Amino acid sequence: MFLALRELRFARGRFSLFCGVIALMTLMVVLLTGLTAGLGAASVSAVDALPGTALAFSAEPKVSFATSSVSEQDQRALAAKAGVHSATPIGVSTAKLTGAVAVLGGVPGSSPTAGGVLVPPSLGLATGSHVRVNDQDLVVTGSTSEHSLNHLPAVYVSLDTWRRVAHTSGATAILVDAEPGADLSSAGLTTLSRTEAYSAVGSYSSEQGSLNLMTGLLLGISALVVGAFFTVWTMQRGHDLAVVRAIGASRSYLLRDALGQAALVLVIGAGLGTALATGLGLAASTAVPFVLAPSTVLVPMALMVLVGLVGATFAVRRVTTVDPLTALGAAR
Amino acid sequence: MLVSASGLAKSYDTGVVTPVLRGAALELDRSRIGVILGPSGSGKSTLMNIIGGVDRADEGVVEVDGERITDLDDDGLVEYRRESVGFVFQFYNLVPNLTAGENIEVVSNISKQPLAIDEVLAAVGLTEKKNRFPRELSGGEQQRVAIARAIVKNPKLLLCDEPTGALDIATSRDVLAQLQRVNTQFGTTILMITHNVAVAEMAHAVFRMRDGEVEHATQNAEPVPAERISW
Ligand SMILES: Nc1ncnc2c1ncn2[C@@H]1O[C@H](COP(=O)(O)OP(=O)(O)OP(=O)(O)O)[C@@H](O)[C@H]1O
Ligand SMILES: [Mg+2]
């Protein structure tokens, strides 16, 4: 990295500018990733918190919590299957409490007595408060962790209470707890694993899809920007490279030097951007759903460095094709 | 015999095939200075590039210190250039991003048995200017850095293609004197291209080229110190 480091020193301005560009792109990628995870959690954290290994919905072209409806017969059919420990009907619907909430009924472990409701702390309701959910008068009997479904805070009631709130006699889906690999197919039902069931939450797929597309595009653009920068840079120093080749540097020496340079610049730029994004994310996480975790910070940063290196590799490949002959006699 | 080239042929195909070398040959003893003279386009640079391992001949043989470099593959040529040959170019060709000292350091980093950087800088009288960038040096000083860079690897052979081509008379004489000092101090064999017939006086051997051939090779029993050359 002898040449690389001295070039960085010599072309400080250019490299600082470029580090800045990388930092900004990393900032965007990290923020987007944190936001994607945050929005994802707001959409499906209640699904994530459900016990069991799978969820059965009524079979429809587009499985959804909003339209699914299962019967007692469906539940019995599933419960009778080999390898199934339990099959529990649950109800899921939207209702009006102080604001809109997602009401989950009959979830094992989060099912209060009839007439009771478990609410998350964010609703600010003390135990014993009387609340009205749709047209039902209920009493807050405890609190739950902060979960949400489709961006609505999740409250938990018993299945009977849910039926009264939702004005139905059935259930929305069946929570299945089964052995791995058990056959869960049943007529009229679509059984999904928990992560597959994310797509049954209305906005989740399109939301995550478009956010991930943006992140992907940003990463692609980053690769192009890095590639373009190093293409120009490599061309600019083509003559110097030819001289160094003529005096005996091997191709691999120049390639290592150039890639080392790219890696250094990328790590510095991406590091800066990540630090900045972490700060911004911390500040914003109270206002917007934003997840700050290694997977939303370090992973996008590493991806950024990786795609940058791919772009740089394409660009600096040409150092290996520099003809030492062009060094000789050429005027400068 | 350090350098022995024979039967070198080379032609360029730019639509029409132009022969540039037609059986060129030369021999130069160890620790000698050889000068190549000849009109423009007679193939001097082409011959030197082939001897230096940056270009390849179509036919013929070059041996340097017993190694047949015309048989080497690309990696072999890289190693040959790295370990055995120093180049001094007409336009110095220093790396502008590196100081004088670092320009020399690049080479000493990649060669197996380099001389000390300060030793070669002192040999060309540039100890003071070690930390200057090329743009902060005069043409003559840049060429002296180039000479230092070429000799730091302690090459068997120093190749100079019109090393004074871009310099005025006084500076040229100074650079030539440096080369002569390198020759006596380190025993480096030097092969130098020049357009200046007077420069031939400082050489042990003179090769006159014409139309891709070495027409005359003459020995010079009493080379003149560069300082005394005038033109
Ligand atoms: N890459 C090339 N492609 C085509 N022709 C070339 C190439 N390099 C050199 N030539 C031709 O070969 C001939 C000899 O070139 P060379 O550079 O060896 O001459 P020279 O004796 O060094 O001349 P000068 O004194 O002007 O430097 C010239 O006619 C030149 O046009
Ligand atoms: Mg020439």
Q: Is residue A192 part of a domain?
A: no
Question: What predicted TM-score, i.e. pTM, was given to this entire model?
Answer: 0.80
Helices A2-10/A12-48 angle, 10° precision: 100
| Mean pLDDT, rounded, for B56-69 | 95
Q: What tokens appear for A44 in the block?
A: 């499906």
Answer yes or no: do A81 and A179 share one domain. Answer: yes
Answer yes or no: do A3 and A71 share one domain. Answer: no
Domain limits for position A136: 60-187
pLDDT of residue B149: 94
pLDDT of residue A219: 93
Answer yes or no: do A91 and A119 share one domain. Answer: yes
Residue B103 has pLDDT above 50, yes or no: yes
Residue A211: pLDDT band with limits 50, 70, 90 = very high
Answer yes or no: do A213 and A246 share one domain. Answer: yes
Answer yes or no: do A321 and A252 share one domain. Answer: yes
Closest CA to A118 of A151, A75, A174, A161: A161
Range with the lowest mean pLDDT among A77-81, A237-241, B53-57? A237-241
Answer yes or no: do A37 and A70 share one domain. Answer: no
Q: Is residue A51 part of a domain?
A: no
Answer yes or no: do A182 and A229 share one domain. Answer: no
Q: In angstroms, rounded to a whole number, what is the distance separating the alpha carbons of residues A114 and A221?
A: 55
H or E element in which residue B159 lies: strand B157-161
Number of C-beta neighbours around residue A232 at 10 A: 12
Q: Do A248 and B153 touch (CB under 8 A)?
A: yes
Total structural domains in chain A?
Answer: 2
For residue B75, which residues of chain A lie inside 8 Å, CB to CB?
250
Q: Is residue A201 part of a domain?
A: no
- Write down the mean pLDDT value for chain B: 93
Q: In angstroms, rounded to a whole number, what is the distance separating the alpha carbons of residues B93 and A235?
A: 16
- pLDDT tens-digit map of A140-199: 999 999 999 999 999 999 999 999 999 999 999 999 999 998 898 888 999 999 899 999
Q: How open is the CA angle A325-B102-B192, to the nearest 5 degrees?
A: 40
- pLDDT tens-digit map of A110-122: 999 888 999 999 9
DSSP states of A33-56 as a string?
HHHHHHHHHHHHHHHHT--SSEEE
Q: CB of A65 within 8 A of CB of A92?
A: yes
Closest CA to A36 of A198, A271, A223: A198
Number of C-beta neighbours around residue A151 at 10 A: 16
- Write down the mean pLDDT value for chain A: 91
Answer yes or no: do A161 and A270 share one domain. Answer: no
| Mean pLDDT, rounded, for B40-44 | 93
Q: Which of A128, A152, A187 is the last residue of a domain?
A: A187
Taking the centre of ligand 2 as the mean of its atom positions, its distance from the CA of residue B160, in whole angstroms, is: 10
Q: Is residue A49 part of a domain?
A: no
| Mean pLDDT, rounded, for A217-228 | 92
Q: Is residue A196 part of a domain?
A: no
Output the CA torsion sign for A116, A121, A124, A128: positive
Residue A330 has pLDDT above 60, yes or no: no
| Mean pLDDT, rounded, for B86-115 | 91
Q: What ipTM was predicted for this assembly?
A: 0.81
**Which residue's alpha carbon is at the smallest distance from atom 25 of ligand 1?**
B40
For residue B136, which residues of chain A lie inside 8 Å, CB to CB?
none
| Mean pLDDT, rounded, for B129-154 | 93
Q: CB of B122 within 8 A of CB of B128?
A: no
pLDDT of residue B95: 92
Q: CB of A326 within 8 A of CB of A47?
A: no
At which residue do the structure tokens 């900032």 appear? A27
Answer yes or no: do A323 and A270 share one domain. Answer: yes
Residue A329 has pLDDT above 70, yes or no: no
Q: Do B78 and A248 touch (CB under 8 A)?
A: yes
Residue type, A243: V
Q: Do B95 and A248 touch (CB under 8 A)?
A: no
| Distance to chain A for B113, nearest Cα, Å | 14
Going by their DSSP bridges, the two strands A148-149 and A152-157 should be labelled as antiparallel
Q: In angstroms, rounded to a whole number, what is the distance separating the alpha carbons of residues B50 and B61?
A: 10
Residue A332 has pLDDT above 80, yes or no: no
Residue A327 has pLDDT above 80, yes or no: no
Answer yes or no: do A291 and A317 share one domain. Answer: yes
Closest CA to A43 of A125, A154, A162, A124: A154
Q: Is residue A50 part of a domain?
A: no
| Distance to chain B for A4, nearest Cα, Å | 10
Q: Is residue A75 part of a domain?
A: yes
Q: Is residue A289 part of a domain?
A: yes
| Distance to chain A for B201, nearest Cα, Å | 24
Answer yes or no: do A18 and A134 share one domain. Answer: no
Q: Do B93 and A3 touch (CB under 8 A)?
A: no
| Mean pLDDT, rounded, for B56-73 | 95
Answer yes or no: do A230 and A135 share one domain. Answer: no
